[in-house]
Amino acid sequence: MAKTKTTFICQNCGSVFTRWQGKCEACGEWNTIVEESDTNGIGGGPLRSKRKGRPAALMPLSGETEEAPRIVSGIAELDRVTGGGFVRGSALLVGGDPGIGKSTLLMQAAAALARGGHKVIYVSGEEAVAQVRLRAQRLKAADTSVQLMAETNIEDILATLGQDKRPDLVIIDSIQTVWTDMAESAPGTVTQVRAGSQALIRYAKSSGAAVILVGHVTKEGQIAGPRVVEHMVDAVLYFEGEGGHHYRILRTVKNRFGPTDEIGVFEMSDIGLREVQNPSELFLGERNEQAPGAAVFAGMEGTRPVLVEIQALVAPSTLGTPRRSVLGWDQPRLAMVLAVLEAHCGVRLGQHDVYLNVAGGYRIQEPAADLAVAAALVSSLSGQPLPTDCVYFGEISLSGSVRPVAHAGQRLKEAEKLGFRQSVLPSASADLPRNREVAAHEIESLPHLVARVAG
Ligand code: TYD
Ligand code: MG
């Protein structure tokens, strides 16, 4: 019998320790280290192969190539995020908070693929078959050829999949529920999650099926255990949403076969997820006209323009250290814009609380939002509402100059489509459309913007 060794593994980052400790030295998280007994060296113990290595063929870098064969779901918002469909023989992780709609999304994808003539197997370790059927009925997916399996043991799952004549897509819902006989740890621990993922990824490569692993994120925002899975799979998608809002965003975090800056937007309804083809309309839907402190940012998500409202509230502070609160944007980036406003434009905000919010719970990752943020801040401070038909974009440098950003033309076209008639953007912006209906006010530096807004 193999000797059982006990190791302590951080459930956040997967680091292995010989003793328990309160804080993981590798990732800095508290209370994430859990004892796992390890019989097969899965947790990092030494392994020794019984067979001698065989030399493999060495290949030149040039030679025949081929496009990764893909399985297209026909759900445009999903196919865009995967980079044109699920890739055969690859493994993909879909992460997200419990209850966000991962099972719903994947059941809809499974049904769409089955309708397209693909063979789909849905392995549910979280819910009983009856429960999955009930959801399928609600999603009008019950009449498709999707096959169900309520199983959590990885050996049993692989044996069942092996029986089947080559499924095109296998969904494992969720990776935290699967367990292998080879390790003694409880399901959901790093050892089990890693062993299960390894086996399923190997299955994907050898069978040519696309395998989708569902992973829950814990309250602290980590995929419990599966942070280690992120490194193993070919692609990682996150399904996100804000409490109180019905829309959901599917975001690529990693993709070996496509771009990583695409998003897919959905709306949760009582019959499942509905695709949102024009996210700008959704994000601008709740707009409060004429209020000071609101600026519309013309942003880009991958290949697609997205317009969102940025709201700022600047108010005199009673605190020794004024409050800086940001939702949906980067805190250090806000600090930078505030510092530039103070240093180069004489806008004093040191005695003011500053609240910044991106409407609808949306999250912006582009520095191009700097100019819109600055406009919202100055507007709130001065009490002057910004024109409601105007969009803003541009990056601000520490010297106070406004730098051009990519895709200016596409941003303006989207603004025009949604009825905007003016824009404030960096001078020397490239590829502006010639016959445009949106006036372009080009500015070179932040003081020009302040003069425009407050003047
Ligand atoms: P679910 O897909 O089970 O989430 P996850 O797998 O990420 O844990 O979705 C759960 C939520 O979605 C639940 O609160 C109910 C809601 N929902 C709808 O609003 N409409 C629907 O058609 C379905 C199936 C679920
Ligand atoms: Mg689920």
Interface predicted TM-score (ipTM) of this complex, two decimals = 0.97
Reported confidence tier of residue 38, pLDDT bands at 50, 70, 90: low
Each residue's pLDDT tens digit, 377-427: 999 999 999 999 999 999 999 999 999 999 999 899 889 888 899 999 999
* Atom from ligand 1 closest to the CA of residue 126: 6
What's the CATH architecture for 282-454? 2-Layer Sandwich (3.30)
Going from the Cα of 107 to the center of ligand 1, the distance in angstroms, rounded, reads 11
Domains in the chain: boundaries: 5-38, 70-277, 282-454
As to burial, measured by CB atoms within 10 angstroms (0-12 exposed, 13-18 middle, 19+ buried), residue 62 is exposed
Each residue's pLDDT tens digit, 354-373: 999 998 778 898 999 999 99
Query: Does residue 96 have a known ligand-binding role?
Result: yes
Does the pLDDT value for residue 283 go beyond 80?
Answer: no
The count of other CB atoms within 10 Å of the CB of residue 74 is 12
Each residue's pLDDT tens digit, 300-326: 987 788 899 999 999 999 988 999 999
70-277 and 282-454 share one fold = no
Task: Note the pLDDT of residue 305.
Answer: 87
Task: Note the pLDDT of residue 288.
Answer: 61
Query: Does residue 223 have a known ligand-binding role?
Result: no
Going from the Cα of 38 to the center of ligand 2, the distance in angstroms, rounded, reads 29
Distances (CA, A) of 252 to 102, 236, 359: 14, 6, 22
Going from the Cα of 448 to the center of ligand 1, the distance in angstroms, rounded, reads 48
Task: Note the pLDDT of residue 209.
Answer: 95
Each residue's pLDDT tens digit, 338-349: 999 999 999 999
CA 405 to CA 333: how far, in whole Å? 16
Say if pTM beats, i.e. exceeds, 0.95: no
Reported confidence tier of residue 225, pLDDT bands at 50, 70, 90: low
| Ion ligand 2 — residues with CB < 5 Å | 103
- Residue 194 corresponds to which tokens in the numbers above? 């890693």
User: Residues with Cβ < 8 Å from 399, sequence gap 6 or more?
Assistant: 344
DSSP-assigned beta bridge partners for residue 441:
424
> What does CATH list as the number for 70-277?
3.40.50.300
Angle of helix 446-454 relative to helix 370-382, nearest 10 degrees, comes to: 40
Q: Which ligand is nearest to the CA of 175?
A: 2
